[in-house]
Structure 1
Amino acid sequence: MDDRPDQATTEGRSTKRRRVALACDACRTRKSRCDGRRPKCGMCEDLDFDCVYTAPVTAANVIVQKDYLSNLERRVKTLEDSLSTVRSELSAVASKVNGESSDAPVEEIPSTRQNEHSADLMGTEDTVDAMGAVAFADEEDCGFFGASSNIAFLRNLSRAVARVESTQEEITSPPINHASFEGGFVNATRPSSPVPTQAHEQTRERQSDMFTLPPDDETLTLIHRFFGDTGLLFPYIHPHAFFETYSELKKGSKKIRRTWLGLLNMVLAMAKLTAVSERLSAEVCLKESAVYYTRAFDLCRGEILRGTTLEVVQYLLLMGQYLQGTHKSVQAWMIHGLTVKAAMQLGLQSKDASRAFTSLEQEIRKRTWFGCVVLDRVLSMTFGRPAAIPDCYVQLDLPVFQGSVEGFPTTDLSQARDSILFFNATITLYKQMASIIDQLYAQNLGCGSPLPVREIVSRVLGIENQLFSWVLALPESLRQVTVQTMRAEIDDQDQRPREEDDARLFPLKFRVILTLRYLHVQILLHRPVLVKFLDTTGMGVVGVSAAGGGGVVEPAEDRLLNEIGYSSLNKCVEAAMGIIDIIHELVSSAHWPRNLLGAWWYSLYYTFNAALVIIGATWVRRTRQQVAASGSAIPAIANIDVYPSRAVATLYKLNRGNRMVDRCRYYLDELISALHIHSQQEAPDASAPNMDFPAMNTAASGLGFPSLGIEGGEFMVDDFFTGLARGIDIERW
């Protein structure tokens, strides 16, 4: 007897079996034929199974179940009822406002508050530059800035000045805990949140245009600019793979990931922010870049807390770098924490976790991890906070050149090869910087007692030998530059016919940036010796407690400081002078040499930091000259008096219309004036109108600085400069 169901019916006639569009889960699991009956198929009814029909996500003929439609109808009805309620409340409020003359504020509508937190995150700016050059925070919470930060160094300088001036004026300064040398908490107030209605409208507008891109030619220009600049300095995004995905996007592919779109917008934002333009001011570039940053954030806000792909880590890493050049320092610090956690979640730090990938994928994972390490070292140093990635976590081999796959239309293979060499040199240099923070700045923990002079000098000499070995190991294409060699190479490039200025940049740009980084590490290495000199100024009698955090300096320590400390102090000053000379030379140049510098916020930090060191050394030399009879005078350093004003002149030319640069420049002006550091000022270029050296008119500038023309915030109290001039203790933390 033939019992096939497709050949017999109750009438005995042969017919085909009815096709079922969707089988139930139980039949699909058992690989049994399902008759598709609802609510239970015949097989599940016979076997007393739960019968559930789950439609595949990619099915074109999905059967929408009735209960699902009913649920949607209920939700729509709830939304309509809520909307009617809101309209009624609005009508009542409007009637009340129109009918009464009261000036009482209208009560906020609760439904408008739900998007306020995201609008605040994207729209509120703090005035801290994330490079730590100056801290002007608008956060309600306190912020800790440890020993390696400029803020901690300025505390030492302010104490030294207060001690000297207080002694001369016979004003007693209250004792200050020495722990503040290692860093401390600083407070500021936060501005009011945006108006709820505005926040709601901004959120709605962002959601509507997050998938918008500029015209194709403009997008390609920005992508090429990124990979011809930032992408060469930090080569953790593979250009070929990125450009291929963009080509698929332009062809209308529906497979483009949302996280990749976020990464694309961050690339565009970074290209805009780092651009050096003679036509556009810095604020215009910042606003244009913020458009892409906002879109990137809206596209990936749900992914940044998961960090499940390498693409997300690269997106977060690039976002952290971008935020360094904005007024969102708190976000830079927090985004970096997410980046490190996401990288570790994917095992980017592990050789074992990468073995399942191709050699190229392993290389990109490795470079992304080292990108996290480099940014971690920078933020740890500038904010004065413990590193998120201890040095013992960095055990991967250095990146290697991958050959022809490294190429990109805007670069040749030699530039790509030099890019990897430059990246590796930065990694090894910042390894020494991490060692400096660990050994000389107590890991920025703010818990250790101050090191004696003997121990500081011993550690400085040991690390200096390692830095000397690093210099010797540099390849020929990355050898360090001086102002003289840089001028010669620029003149040589100008003699050659070139169609585009960008072709002249490399490898000289790698050498300039690496030299600036090395000189800055030298300053960081020798600055603890300068701090010791500052701690002993104004003491009068060696061996007594130095008020304001200087501690007790024994006669033997002071003698050791006088005997071998001058050499370290001179090296610190020479490195600072070298930084100012190089940056001043390039910002004073026209056309393509200005592009030899990296991102403008690094140049700002290096210049400001170097100027503070020179001002501190000038103050030490002045106070030591006052006790020259005791043999403690510091030998003069040639032309040192020129450099504070040269740093101010450099900041005048660094980035037109940049509020951060203006603030740092004004601080230096006020600090020079308060400490009476008079020198022959360098005249600004005649070709640069509006670059005059008289005190900045803050009312006309629109910066809105209180007190002495600038907000104190985390950097210092409002009467910092007034206190220095009067010779009183200005520290009231």
Structure 2
Amino acid sequence: MASLSVEPRGAGYLGPTAGVFFLRSLLLWTGHSRPFIGDSSEVPRPHAGLESSSQLSNSVTSRHVIEQLVNGYFEVYHRSYPFVHEPTFRAQLHEVIQRPKRRSWQMLLYTIMALGAWCLNNDNAELDDELYHLALSFGDAECLFASADLTFVQALILFSNLSQKRNKPNTGSNFLGLATRMALSLGLHRELPDWNISLLQREMRRRVWWGLYMFDSGASTTFGRPILLPGEEAMDVRPVLNIDDEDLTSVTELAPEEVSRPTLYSGMKYQSELHVKSNYISNRLLSSSCVAPEDALFMDATLDKWSSTLPEYLRLEHDVRSAEPTFYFNRSRLWWRFWNLKIIIFRQLFLKRAIGTSNSNMTAPVSEADERCMNIAVRAASATIASIDQHTRERQRTRLVTWYSIYFTFHASLVIILAILSNSESPDMPKWQEDVNTVRRIFRDVFVDNELATRCANIIDVMLPDPLLNTGDWANVQLDPMLMDFSTWPAASADEFASVLGWPDWPNFPQ
């Protein structure tokens, strides 16, 4: 998780939208300039029943294991990111229809299996690792880079996300960049109505493009790097259709009508739309100077305008009956990302305001715009925490749900901590204290066996110890104005910047 690395070593660039900047400033502010070393004891992982590591080679090629891992992928991961057409892939897997180019399809197969293993939370880390490297080996072939095909783009997109989940963010970023270039060379950003392809093939192209768009937009914002995807003016590809799979097959000749209820593709349709509308915000925030409050408020208004266009079934207060369990996660994640964008817009302004008001030499009154910025950031953080608390209590918790819940909860908690440390006289203090208690309960009770959640809780305890939270003794808290010079901070080491404050054995932790 990239936001949890604070060691500046200069091996890779992380920009101002990366969580590392905000986290590092809070740690320095609370007097923790060195990485915090916590309890590194291993938490036992539940046994999932796959073969032992001594049988790895046979396991990877076993029909039973292949089916189990492919099922894991389509039952969990695919329900949130459906840009591999399941009926087509399964028909290719069983050789009912011809497979695409051997190497690109093999890379896709092993990547899907590796993601399936990850989703199943299997305790056989060696099998997971072997599948990852098998997929990577098929991507190394020089012949694959000579020409592009849709299957290879799918494999690259999935492999990049798998790399990020395995705490190899630079590897993931590089493969995502390659996928973007290949997608553009295939014209996936264009509708190309004169092409003689089936309706299903055309829709599959759209799903791959918008899946790529979602991942590249999200990763670029997470790591503080410019979004290189084309804007609306350079694309004419249509959004994915909000339809059921059975309404569009290889023999469909008339385009199906979209439905006004949740489908497998609802989450992708509206999350990609959010990125189209908000990518300019992420790029603007990468400026070395902090945006003006008025500009930030305009960006926030843009997000609110977009959210007002969402269909009723995507509103959290709307009770959707008979929807599949994954829909509730996809809907919640859309709002978590929406609130996270608000947090990213305002958190530097909030920190700047906190530094100014805590400095005895700076007595200028806080402007109305500054106050609004702080309030929006805090409301977004509180809404995130409340939503994740409710979701983890009421809904199914897959490994994918766990990963995103921890990620967005941690980002939100940092804003609440800043509010507590910088506004000790606020009448909202009891609400903020309750938010922190909720975060601690999520990390320590809901995800009790998750090492990442435990370490997130440890970091919060370092910045906001329980006695301080209970007594409200803020007298010794000091803010350093030099913390705001984000442009002077080098990034963390390439494959270590997902580690929690420099713990070297991060890749081995269950997540």
Q: Same fold (TM over 0.5)?
A: yes
Of 438, 457, 460 in structure 1, the residue corresponding to residue 283 of structure 2 is: 438
Q: Distance in 2 between matches of 1:377 and 1:675?
A: 40
What amino acid does structure 1 have at the position aligned with 2:347?
A: R
Q: Show the counterpart of 1:619.
A: 421
Q: How does 1:657-676 map to 2 (within 5 A)?
A: 657-673=449-465, 676=468
Of 280, 297, 306 in structure 1, the residue corresponding to residue 136 of structure 2 is: 297
1:580 to partner: Cα distance: 1.8
Matched, 1:512 2:317: no
1:417 to partner: Cα distance: 6.0
Q: How does 1:96-245 map to 2 (within 5 A)?
A: 129=1, 132-135=2-5, 142-158=11-27, 161=30, 209=57, 212-216=60-64, 218-245=65-92
Q: Distance in 1 between matches of 2:344 and 2:100?
A: 48
Matched, 1:594 2:397: yes
Q: Distance in 2 between matches of 1:575 and 1:398?
A: 28
What amino acid does structure 1 have at the position aligned with 2:212?
A: C
> 1:36-89 CA distances to partner (integer Å, 9 max, x unpaired)?
xxxxxxxxxxxxxxxxxxxxxxxxxxxxxxxxxxxxxxxxxxxxxxxxxxxxxx
1:599 to partner: Cα distance: 4.0
Q: Distance in 2 between matches of 1:713 and 1:675?
A: 31
Q: Distance in 2 between matches of 1:675 and 1:142?
A: 38
What amino acid does structure 2 have at the position aligned with 1:375?
A: F
1:593 to partner: Cα distance: 2.9
8 Å CA contact retained: 2:111, 2:131: yes
> 1:635-667 CA distances to partner (integer Å, 9 max, x unpaired)?
535421122232232123455654433332322
8 Å CA contact retained: 1:160, 1:535: no
1:332 to partner: Cα distance: 1.5
Judged with a 3 Å threshold, the aligned counterparts in structure 2 of structure 1 residues 671 and 574 are, in CA distance, closer, same or farther, namely: same
Judged with a 3 Å threshold, the aligned counterparts in structure 2 of structure 1 residues 337 and 254 are, in CA distance, closer, same or farther, namely: closer
Q: Show the counterpart of 1:567.
A: 372
Secondary structure at the counterpart of residue 248 of structure 1: coil
1:678 to partner: Cα distance: 3.6
Q: Show the counterpart of 1:691.
A: none
Of 348, 360, 379 in structure 1, the residue corresponding to residue 219 of structure 2 is: 379
Q: Distance in 1 between matches of 2:62 and 2:448?
A: 25
1:336 to partner: Cα distance: 1.5
Q: Show the counterpart of 1:358.
A: 198
Q: Show the counterpart of 1:639.
A: 431
The alignment yields a C-alpha RMSD, in angstroms, of 4.0
Secondary structure at the counterpart of residue 291 of structure 1: helix
Judged with a 3 Å threshold, the aligned counterparts in structure 2 of structure 1 residues 407 and 660 are, in CA distance, closer, same or farther, namely: farther
What is the aligned length?
Answer: 453
8 Å CA contact retained: 1:272, 1:286: no
1:575 to partner: Cα distance: 1.8
Q: Show the counterpart of 1:529.
A: 349
1:425 to partner: Cα distance: 0.9
Q: Show the counterpart of 1:460.
A: 296
Matched, 1:334 2:174: yes
> 1:373-425 CA distances to partner (integer Å, 9 max, x unpaired)?
111111111111111324354442212246635589xxxx9899623232121
8 Å CA contact retained: 1:209, 1:295: no
Q: Distance in 1 between matches of 2:3 and 2:126?
A: 22
RCO comparison, higher one (Cα < 8 Å, 6+): 2
- Give the percent of matched residue pairs that are identical in Structure 1 and Structure 2: 20
Judged with a 3 Å threshold, the aligned counterparts in structure 2 of structure 1 residues 255 and 660 are, in CA distance, closer, same or farther, namely: same
8 Å CA contact retained: 1:614, 1:644: yes
> 1:11-51 CA distances to partner (integer Å, 9 max, x unpaired)?
xxxxxxxxxxxxxxxxxxxxxxxxxxxxxxxxxxxxxxxxx
8 Å CA contact retained: 2:156, 2:179: yes
Which has the larger Rg?
Answer: 1
Q: Show the counterpart of 1:201.
A: none
> 1:205-254 CA distances to partner (integer Å, 9 max, x unpaired)?
99x949943333x43343344233322322211112111101217x9x89
Q: Show the counterpart of 1:697.
A: none
Q: Distance in 2 between matches of 1:310 and 1:642?
A: 49
Secondary structure at the counterpart of residue 13 of structure 2: strand
Q: TM-score, normalised by structure 1?
A: 0.55
8 Å CA contact retained: 2:297, 2:373: no
8 Å CA contact retained: 1:477, 1:507: no
Secondary structure at the counterpart of residue 579 of structure 1: helix
What amino acid does structure 1 have at the position aligned with 2:18?
A: S
1:255 to partner: Cα distance: 8.0
1:609 to partner: Cα distance: 0.4
Q: Distance in 2 between matches of 1:321 and 1:286?
A: 18
Matched, 1:604 2:406: yes
8 Å CA contact retained: 1:587, 1:653: no
Q: How does 1:689-700 map to 2 (within 5 A)?
A: none
Judged with a 3 Å threshold, the aligned counterparts in structure 2 of structure 1 residues 508 and 665 are, in CA distance, closer, same or farther, namely: same
8 Å CA contact retained: 1:259, 1:311: yes
Q: Distance in 2 between matches of 1:581 and 1:335?
A: 35
Q: Show the counterpart of 1:477.
A: 313
Q: How does 1:518-557 map to 2 (within 5 A)?
A: 518-542=338-362, 555=364
Q: TM-score, normalised by structure 2?
A: 0.76
1:613 to partner: Cα distance: 0.9
Judged with a 3 Å threshold, the aligned counterparts in structure 2 of structure 1 residues 228 and 307 are, in CA distance, closer, same or farther, namely: farther
Judged with a 3 Å threshold, the aligned counterparts in structure 2 of structure 1 residues 578 and 342 are, in CA distance, closer, same or farther, namely: same
What amino acid does structure 1 have at the position aligned with 2:22?
A: F
1:608 to partner: Cα distance: 0.8
Structure 2 unaligned spans of 5+: 36-52, 251-257, 473-495, 503-511
